Structure 1
Amino acid sequence: MNAPIQAPKNGAKQQQPRTAIAALWKPALVQAFAKLDPRQLKRSPVMLVVELTAVVTTVLCFIPNPAVSTGLAVQIALWLWFTVLFANFAEALAEGRGKARADSLKAGSQGLSARRRAASGQFETVAASSLRRGDLVRVEAGELIPGDGEVVEGIAAVNEAAITGESAPVIRESGGDRSAVTGNTRVVSDWLLVKITANPGESTLDRMIALVEGAKRQKTPNEVALDILLIGLTLIFLLVVATLQPFARFAGGDLPLVYLVALLVTLIPTTIGGLLSAIGIAGMDRLVRLNVIAKSGRAVEAAGDVHVLLLDKTGTITFGNRRCSALVKAPGVSGKELSDAALLASLADDTPEGKSIVEYLRALSAMVEPARDEVTAIAFSAETRLSGVDWNGRSYRKGAVDAVLAWVGMSRAEMPEQLSREIDRIAQSGGTPLLVAADGKLLGGIHLKDVVKPGIRERFAELRQMGIRTVMVTGDNPLTAAAIAAEAGVDDVIAEATPEKKLARIRQEQGEGKMVAMCGDGANDAPALAQADVGLAMNDGTQAAREAANLVDLDSDPTKLLDVVQVGKELLVTRGALTTFSVANDVAKYFAILPALFAGIYPQLGVLNLMQLRSPQSAILSAIVFNALIIIALIPLALRGVRVQAADAASLLRRNLLIYGLGGLVAPFIGIKLIDILLTALHLV
């Protein structure tokens, strides 16, 4: 058996650099003070409570109290204000990364004009902001497309770098799945007649700007639920702290109001309360860096809970068009003779398959190709199913098995047995076999197949470790579908898929309580995209698909769905990890402050002073300082997100409890003790 000639692998796409935080900290610091406005802080109830306690403590600084020195009261008030400012700084820093991109997008669209067709049929120049859905505009080479639309006439190359960051132009033409264009992209050749599909404020660019401007981001259901939890904990601790003074009075003691205020702030979940907005905004910013537009934050969070991924085979798992993957020689034929003949026979074949054969063989063959005017080209046609050239008195042909056999005057039974077996093997594996002949002599075969993208199998393996099942959706017959599914490593396959089949499968999975994600680009994908919990549409797909989906990928890369799932999981895990850390913090701070407060009233509580803090004043101030500093220490983690490893939910939970639960319990014991030693050494208490 002849060994097939293997194709070279493609290189991986490089990632784009991230926004430098260093350039954003100064405006974020200014915004931190601006956000002290209670009307803004009401979006974060926990931090609003901290600000109110800071106001109360500031007022108490001017009221003499023999039990509390003015210096200690001032220090507590300052650290309470710092706590609020640090939380505001984290949110402003997260917003700043998005707003920097929003400003650049806005700058590119200011003053944009359009050539709109009037009722008379003539074109008039108007401001792009005046365009409405249904308007027809003509865009020529060098001009910016004034708004989202569909190409109704013409074909042109379009540079979409302003939106996607990719400088290589793409072809846009009327009809089919490549007719959608995005506003603020530039036509670099020819011209297009575009029908505007979005009113002002509704375009892809407008949605992108609104998405990256964190202040306009709506809270997701998960954030709302977490807010309710934090408010509940705050009310519980408020009730607890309010009852401490009566207990102290009953025992013949007294607790200064400043101490009670400090205790309240350290017990309520200020850490997660201060970072919650920053976590959400940073999560959306990571999605924007992937060039994915989210119509709702709910879709991003749903991606983090996905159990099943439905992925279209063509363009997602495979490259799309069938490509040449190997040559098979007939007995007595050399590899060079076969490759040279196959290359010559494919020169006039302008189909994607023909081009892939030429590309494949040029990388392997050193032959000098004839010029186009030196050969008589035989173009491929559906009728003959052959292509080739006549050159130097010789004829070279390539095509379907039966077509080439008829050309050489041979029946299938007369084919060399070894070559016949290879042709059957190619067909049974789901590939497409072609034959190559020259001057009536059969030289060998070509193996065309859907080439699985490099690394896709490993990515599916990672998803499987996370507990996510992958399902390949294809219109191929079951035999071909099974062969590609086995090579790609998917868990299940839907062969001969129709819109009804896709929709039924999604509803079946959802009926079993599973979250389902789906990606697609055609009009026939629209029902499934609308039904799925997470629907990712390609930006260069049909208008129906983009409207049905809740996520739109500006790069039109279907494998991006895997990255969206990763971002969704990072967002949920980051919230969970920092919530665990915050709650665990409260346990340690309880042992720091409560024994110090009641040691004079109930000496027996001194046994709970596990940290051996020097004095009640030192204990209270140390806890307040740690409470403020831990927020700024966790800002990088909130912005970057907790990295999600390939593991199931139970493993992730154990990991988070070990790292952030145990870490949140131990860190305050160490931090508060060190601050206590420092404050005492500096004689600040």
Structure 2
Amino acid sequence: MTQTVPPRHSGDAESERIELTIGGMTCAACAQRIEKKLNKLDGVTASVNYAIEKAWVTSEKLDDRDHLVDQLISTVQKAGYTADVPPESYDEESGTVGARDLRGLRNRLIISGVLTTPVVLWAMVPATQFDYWTWFSLILSVPVVIWAGWPFHRAAAVSARHGTATMDTLISVGTLAALGWSLYALFFGHAGDPSMRHSFTLFDEPYWMAGHSMGSANVYFEVATAVTTFLLLGRYFEKRSKASAGEALRSLVNMGAKDVAVLKDEGEVRIPVNELAVGDEFVIRPGEKIATDAVVVSGESAVDMSMLTGESVPMEVAQGGSVVGATINTSGRLVVRATRVGADTQLAQMAKLVEAAQSGKAEVQRLADRVSGVFVPIVLLLTLITLGGWLTFGAPAEDAFTAAVAVLIIACPCALGLATPTALLVGTGRGAQQGILISGPEVLEASTAIDAVVLDKTGTVTTGAMQLTSMLSARHWGGEYEDAELLRLAASLESASEHPVARAITNAARESFGSRSGSLPQPENFRNHAGTGVSGEVGGHSVLVGRRRLMGAAGVELPSEVDQLVTEAETHGSTAVFVAIDGVFSGVLTVSDTVKDTSAEAVEQLRKLGMEPLLLTGDNAGAAHRVADQVGIEHVVAEALPEDKVATIKDIQAQGRTVAMIGDGVNDAAALAQAELGIAMGTGTDVAIAAADITVIRGDLRSAADAVRLSRRTLRTIRENLFWAFVYNTAAIPLAAAGLLNPMLAGAAMVLSSLSVVGNSLRLRRFR
């Protein structure tokens, strides 16, 4: 699976992104080792995610992509793992965890549990012990430690071949050491005596407290088997939990329609959705899913967008309106024309954004990676120090061995490796279900420091559905063009623009001309003047539509009579747009916008999050202040060009503040990139969305506040996970080294720590 990743915040060259599914990873250290191996390849930058078992590799665009993929897979295999290119789409057995691997792990767990139960029972309940019970324990323990625990031993052997150590090394060495000591005690000590009995407590007093030891009569079959079973249980539930954590992304990908009724010459023909092409017209009946992004050709209906946006109220659509793939037609029959298919649809882009976010690493995760990289060698050193220390101070070998094994087992940094990726996986997946797309983990860290928010006006605070409210041609001052011709030429030019003002003028022309709307000529040499207007040629005429500044730059003189008209329009919150034809002023159009019903509430929510709002717009001061007063914003910057918006954000940053920018237009893209946190409204332009850190699919400004809350809560969950993972290891290792922790209890505690981290992350699924 290859996708082009647009560079963000820079002009980096286009790069190729390759995704690989990685098999055989058992801990965060495995992911780190693979990442290091891949990053050593020339021109390659790799990121490996242990939680979702995938690697993402970017490199300069190469002619021979297949060779690069083969090289990447070979590198991973040489490191002792498996790698493959994932399928183009998810199926029932794909995604985070392979069903086959999970079944194999479950079988090992079941057999291990059955064999371990009597071994632990005999060791922990002296009344159940009988003649030769230690020998029966040996018979049951060997399959558990060797066969059921083989995944740990294999991973440890792979690590040893590459001169490294992982937490599997700790597990393998610990369980084999417990088995080895028991064999020694059985064959060369007194543990093999038929009548041998011993008591058991979870908190045996060590030699330095009790002053005695059972010496070579003690066996640790229960430790070796129970630890193996506990760890298999933990790994099984860990994989199940990770699969559950990734369910949001898989459900997002799988929610699309499977087939579609396309209109052909012979009538309706039902075809698989992957055969649909741009331009095909198809029918959507009430209750059916919309197969792909499309524009309505005929019919009226209400479309349920909740699966993409979380918005429960259906959206009304009619001829000329847009619909999004995977949403549901709730009432009327629609005929639509496909505008985007396959990987270009909004649903597919959402999935890519979510998966790209899950592939990245926040600074806290990079810290955890650095710690885990040195943690295992340190633990092995501490184990040797524990063993040597006890022996040096005259303790029996059994007590020294018990303490050393407990250190090995309790120190496994499973929770540390799961702390960040599971929270990120759940948080970004839940965000996607709620219509909030987070571009990467660094966004989470940026969200905590935001104390100022800059809002664009049109399409962000207001509906963006502007309407033409008045029109006055220069004919009133002796000019050449009537109102109808003025509107036709202006609308023809504006039809090539995405700006809300342009849509208002174009829609007014189409309503005015009715069935003759198709007669609007196509503009030539169209040019967008960011923040001021547009220019081009229509029907052999040079046409200019825009603000007073654009007219002045083009040398167009405006009659003094229009000043009063413009002043009156701006007083009422409207925007004046001037039209010049063939270099001569030809008329003025006024358009107005309405504030969204939820904008005032959204501004208050942003303020409660500690973010001081500022309204930043290219519109006139009168319209800007009118909107600001309606939503409760005190600070306003009006008539700002794109470069002015960037300069305004830089000025705020120069004051030592951290800025979030919320916008939706082409002229907001630079400002979105300049801000520490860029939030794009999903109803806006593709350029704005590409420049943003977070995209909210709904046009509701409250979603921006939700996005900040989700980002902060996800980061808080990551920090909680890391805190408890660090505390667990640092607090438990000294207890184990002091001989106060039975190795079997240490194994159970280590499993519980990993499950607690995953469970804490899964709480994010309840975010509203």
Establish whether TM, by shorter chain, passes 0.5: yes
SS at match of 1:136: coil
In the other structure, the counterpart of 2:520 is none
Where in structure 2 are the equivalents of 1:240-255 lying within 5 Å? Answer: 240-251=382-393, 253=395, 254=397
Amino acid of the residue matched to residue 203 of structure 1?
A: T
In the other structure, the counterpart of 1:327 is none
In the other structure, the counterpart of 1:456 is 602
In the other structure, the counterpart of 1:136 is 279
In the other structure, the counterpart of 1:227 is 369
In the other structure, the counterpart of 2:173 is 56
Amino acid of the residue matched to residue 371 of structure 2?
A: L
**Structure 1 residues 282 and 107: CA distance shift in structure 2, 3 A:** closer
Contact kept in structure 1, 2:418 and 2:754, CA below 8 Å: yes
In the other structure, the counterpart of 2:728 is 585
Instruction: Return the match for 1:282 from 404, 426, 446.
Output: 426
> What displacement does 1:248 show?
4.5
The separation in 2 between residues aligned to 1:105 and 1:61, in whole angstroms, is 47
> What displacement does 1:98 show?
4.2
The separation in 2 between residues aligned to 1:532 and 1:41, in whole angstroms, is 45
> What displacement does 1:574 show?
1.6
SS at match of 1:496: coil
Once the two structures are superposed, residues 507-546 of structure 1 have per-residue CA deviations (whole angstroms, 9 ceiling, x without a partner) of 5556778654333333333343454454333333334434
> What displacement does 1:563 show?
1.1
The separation in 2 between residues aligned to 1:537 and 1:459, in whole angstroms, is 17
> What displacement does 1:308 show?
3.6
SS at match of 2:713: helix
In the other structure, the counterpart of 1:493 is 636
The separation in 1 between residues aligned to 2:709 and 2:154, in whole angstroms, is 31
The separation in 1 between residues aligned to 2:446 and 2:709, in whole angstroms, is 11
In the other structure, the counterpart of 2:748 is 625
Instruction: Return the match for 1:562 from 705, 709, 717.
Output: 705
Q: TM-score, normalised by structure 2?
A: 0.50
**Structure 1 residues 212 and 33: CA distance shift in structure 2, 3 A:** farther
Instruction: Return the match for 2:381 from 223, 227, 239.
Output: 239
Contact kept in structure 1, 2:302 and 2:317, CA below 8 Å: yes
The separation in 1 between residues aligned to 2:390 and 2:569, in whole angstroms, is 85
Contact kept in structure 2, 1:76 and 1:624, CA below 8 Å: no
Show structure 2 runs of 5+ residues with no match: 1-98, 110-148, 160-164, 186-214, 468-507, 510-567, 575-593
Where in structure 2 are the equivalents of 1:175-324 lying within 5 Å? Answer: 179=322, 181-183=324-326, 185-186=328-329, 189=332, 191=334, 194=337, 196-198=339-341, 200-209=342-351, 217-222=358-363, 223-251=365-393, 253=395, 254=397, 256-257=400-401, 259-267=403-411, 269-314=413-458, 316-317=460-461
Instruction: Return the match for 1:164 from 295, 309, 312.
Output: 309
Once the two structures are superposed, residues 454-502 of structure 1 have per-residue CA deviations (whole angstroms, 9 ceiling, x without a partner) of 53354133221xxx44332234544664565466455743323333322
**Structure 1 residues 498 and 561: CA distance shift in structure 2, 3 A:** same
> What displacement does 1:629 show?
2.8
Amino acid of the residue matched to residue 713 of structure 2?
A: E
Q: TM-score, normalised by structure 1?
A: 0.55
SS at match of 2:646: helix
SS at match of 2:738: helix
In the other structure, the counterpart of 1:17 is none
The separation in 1 between residues aligned to 2:154 and 2:448, in whole angstroms, is 29
In the other structure, the counterpart of 1:399 is none
Instruction: Give the fraction of aligned pairs with identical amino acids, expressed as a percent.
Output: 22
Contact kept in structure 1, 2:302 and 2:314, CA below 8 Å: yes
The separation in 1 between residues aligned to 2:569 and 2:355, in whole angstroms, is 53
Give the superposed CA RMSD: 5.0
The separation in 2 between residues aligned to 1:282 and 1:292, in whole angstroms, is 13
In the other structure, the counterpart of 1:74 is 222
**Structure 1 residues 217 and 113: CA distance shift in structure 2, 3 A:** farther
> What displacement does 1:126 show?
5.0
Contact kept in structure 2, 1:592 and 1:623, CA below 8 Å: no
SS at match of 1:109: coil
Contact kept in structure 1, 2:222 and 2:744, CA below 8 Å: no
The separation in 2 between residues aligned to 1:273 and 1:82, in whole angstroms, is 18
Contact kept in structure 1, 2:455 and 2:613, CA below 8 Å: yes
**Structure 1 residues 475 and 211: CA distance shift in structure 2, 3 A:** closer
Contact kept in structure 1, 2:455 and 2:661, CA below 8 Å: yes
Instruction: Return the match for 1:522 from 659, 665, 677.
Output: 665
**Structure 1 residues 230 and 642: CA distance shift in structure 2, 3 A:** farther
Once the two structures are superposed, residues 104-143 of structure 1 have per-residue CA deviations (whole angstroms, 9 ceiling, x without a partner) of 86264223464589xxx999875321346xx212234426
**Structure 1 residues 148 and 536: CA distance shift in structure 2, 3 A:** farther
Instruction: Return the match for 1:538 from 678, 681, 704.
Output: 681
In the other structure, the counterpart of 2:762 is 639
The separation in 2 between residues aligned to 1:112 and 1:137, in whole angstroms, is 11
The separation in 2 between residues aligned to 1:226 and 1:539, in whole angstroms, is 34
Contact kept in structure 1, 2:255 and 2:326, CA below 8 Å: no
> What displacement does 1:173 show?
6.8
> What displacement does 1:263 show?
0.5
1:106 matched to 2:263? The reply is no
Contact kept in structure 2, 1:28 and 1:96, CA below 8 Å: no
The separation in 2 between residues aligned to 1:292 and 1:31, in whole angstroms, is 34
Once the two structures are superposed, residues 6-63 of structure 1 have per-residue CA deviations (whole angstroms, 9 ceiling, x without a partner) of xxxxxxxxxxxxxxxxxxxxx9995794699679999xx9xx9444433333333442
Contact kept in structure 1, 2:672 and 2:678, CA below 8 Å: yes
SS at match of 1:556: coil
The separation in 2 between residues aligned to 1:457 and 1:79, in whole angstroms, is 54
**Structure 1 residues 625 and 205: CA distance shift in structure 2, 3 A:** same
